[in-house]
Amino acid sequence: MTPRGQGGKDRPWLMRTYAGHSSAEASNQLYRSNLAKGQTGLSVAFDLPTQTGYDPDHALALGEVGRVGVPIAHLGDVRRLFQDIPLERTNTSMTINATAMWLLALYQVVAEEQGADLTALQGTTQNDIVKEYLSRGTHVFPPGPSLRLTTDMITYTVHHMPRWNPINICSYHLQEAGATPVQEIAYAMSTAIAVLDAVFASGQVPEERRGDVVGRISFFVNAGVRFIEEMCKMRAFGQIWDTVTRERYGVRDRRQRRFRYGVQVNSLGLTEAQPENNVQRIVLEMLAVTLSKDARARAVQLPAWNEALGLPRPWDQQWSLRMQQVLAHESDLLEYEDVFAGSHVVEAKVAELVAAANAEMEQVRERGGVLAAVESGYLKGRLVSAHAERRARIESGADRVVGVNCYESTEPSPLTADPDTAIMTVDPAAEARVVAALRDWRADRDAQRCLTALSALRSAAAGTGNLMAPTLECARAGVTTGEWSSALRDVFGEFRAPTGVSGAPVAVTAEPGGELAAVRRKVAGTAAELGCARLRLLVGKPGLDGHSNGAEQIAVRARDAGFEVVYQGIRLTPEQIVSAAVAEDVHCVGLSILSGSHAALVPEVLARLRQAGAGDVPVVVGGIIPAADARELRAAGVAAVFTPRDFGITGIIGRIVDEIRLANKLEV
């Protein structure tokens, strides 16, 4: 095959960088800088209070404001976020789910203020609540009302914003939670079916426009380091989507049936050990979604090499952007047709994935569909089990991870010679400034108009009408994120998703002479010395961090080691965690925080334990915690700090037992 020459060269995919932090002003500066460097689309990261529907001054927002994204509390924040960025000419992806309708309304109003034509707006709201129940944890409302919000958004955009992708069905986080390629395909497709069935059942879209709805459904997919399997997964996705949309929904236009997906390559596989190796991992994962023309991503965003260490700096994000630009503009990739067409290896692997994914989709269907499978805990249990099996393979050495369980010796890295400057830190004072600005906003707005808008929103939620119109009025009136969400909470209630821990099977057997058997003996012996039947460990997720994978794996392995585990899931206040620790008379409290809020939340847990007379209970902390922060936590009274470098879960459980013994003055 000969190249088609420069004249026939394909257009590159959209190049994005997932970004946002501290404040709308700081994030706007970052966006304009990234666009000036050649980024061709925006990808907005929102902070956890915004994602979960809380204002920055809410108790649960303590320590979380501006940490993992930009705080957006009202229309003024969005004006500042996109200042001097013409939205009519910008393709914007917004990673937002439970509060997606609210953020789209704010975005639309700012676009209108800029004079934009709504029919020209291009971009995506992630808006996939199912994966929030299963993996990411920023859900707010129960499944039924959440699906209604999604349905109303989709139908609104089809009629008023026809170039907007109202949902980005997101299997990315499923893989981060341990999903196999088969599970990733099956659960994403099952979610798409549930969403489309609900949209068409709502009666808000005439039958002749079904193809318009299907044509705006997009996906957000993960690409792991197993290059061949991941590339074949993308082709399998496309085949199944083509079949479902043609046979189930009768879409005849092949362009509307195309599997349209964006991708962020795998963050789960990034390592704190020898983090420079993450560069080649990221490049290899990028190739899986770009080399094959027939299954090429529409948009790509890459993590930075140091994301397992903390928040990447602008220079680190630029490095990832340059990886895409070199591939697209220096290589000859875009000059050829699909280079894998006709490969018997690829065709066989794709067929295998399609068959297995269809079988798993049937399992979901037999359980009443994806929402019923969420509520029953079936899907969460499957993911927790798959993740436990993956971790066990790494710990045993069956799966080799360079720098982690093989080739561990290394020369000192100039990239991390000073680990405290190898990442970006968020100014702790930024939260106070955001809170102060929010109070000023409330004082200056038309309070009566806000009350009227919120009352209309509650009335609409109690009825059956589309919720986008009252949401737009709330945005224009100056309502805040927390007020909009609170009004819907009043009507819809809240939802706590199943943890999947209790039903997870044993992933590591306690073979005689093995590490787990030794830890089990230590657990049982310590319990006997303390005069109790079993040691009790509370695993807590304070604040709004919904990344529960690590906490779940610790809980499962501690259970298998003989602990009685108290795990109540995500989104707890320090007060709730301490109350549970005292009520259950636990021997250790383990806190898991990946959002960067450890500096604010852990000391509060320690202080409340002392106030409750339980200051002698050891507290251990796990998460993405820079070395300087770890030193401060230990100085404050934390017994041990675990980071991604501590990949051996059984070893962590053993160290927790040691801390219990030290706290109780037993020999270690």
Contact between residue 293 and residue 336 where contact means Cβ atoms under 8 Å apart:
yes
| Mutual angle of helices 314-329 and 24-36, in 10-degree steps | 30
173 is catalytic: yes
pLDDT tens per residue, range 476-500: 999 999 999 999 999 999 887 666 6
Q: Which of 21, 131, 541, 598 is catalytic?
A: 541
547 is catalytic: yes
Contact between residue 37 and residue 318 where contact means Cβ atoms under 8 Å apart:
yes
Burial of 57 (0-12, 13-18, 19+ CB in 10 A): buried
Q: Which of 18, 31, 187, 249 is catalytic?
A: 18
pTM: 0.89
Please state, in angstroms and rounded to a whole number, the distance separating the CA atoms of residues 567 and 582.
Answer: 14
Longest dimension (CA), the chain: 79
Q: Quick one: pLDDT at residue 434?
A: 95
Hey, what long-range contacts does 512-518 have (CB within 8 A, 24 or more apart)?
A: 515/650, 515/651, 515/654, 516/560, 516/561, 516/650, 518/654
Contact between residue 597 and residue 62 where contact means Cβ atoms under 8 Å apart:
yes
Residue where the block lists tokens 């005439």: 206
Please state, in angstroms and rounded to a whole number, the distance separating the CA atoms of residues 621 and 644.
Answer: 12
Q: Quick one: pLDDT at residue 508?
A: 65
Q: Quick one: pLDDT at residue 504?
A: 61
293 is catalytic: no
Q: Which of 74, 173, 587, 598 is catalytic?
A: 173
- For residue 203, the tally of other CB atoms under 10 A from its CB is 8
187 is catalytic: no
Q: Which of 57, 545, 560, 629 is catalytic?
A: 545
* Strands of the 619-623 sheet, one edge to the other: 564-567, 536-540, 588-593, 619-623, 640-642
Q: Quick one: pLDDT at residue 177?
A: 85
> If the chain, 668 residues long, is cut into consecutive pieces of 10 residues, what is the mean pLDDT of each piece?
59 88 93 91 94 95 91 98 96 95 98 97 94 88 95 97 95 89 96 96 94 95 93 96 97 95 87 93 95 92 89 90 95 94 96 98 96 91 89 90 91 84 81 95 97 98 97 98 98 81 63 86 96 95 86 91 91 93 96 89 96 96 90 96 88 96 94
Contact between residue 661 and residue 668 where contact means Cβ atoms under 8 Å apart:
yes
Q: Quick one: pLDDT at residue 626?
A: 86
- For residue 398, the tally of other CB atoms under 10 A from its CB is 9
Q: Quick one: pLDDT at residue 506?
A: 64
Q: Quick one: pLDDT at residue 5?
A: 44
Q: Which of 107, 133, 156, 172 is catalytic?
A: 172
Please state, in angstroms and rounded to a whole number, the distance separating the CA atoms of residues 81 and 107.
Answer: 10
Q: Which of 58, 522, 547, 587 is catalytic?
A: 547
Residue where the block lists tokens 């962020």: 264
Contact between residue 101 and residue 126 where contact means Cβ atoms under 8 Å apart:
no
DSSP string, 540-591: E-BTT----HHHHHHHHHHHHTT-EEEE--S-B-HHHHHHHHHHHT-SEEEE
| Mutual angle of helices 100-113 and 481-492, in 10-degree steps | 140
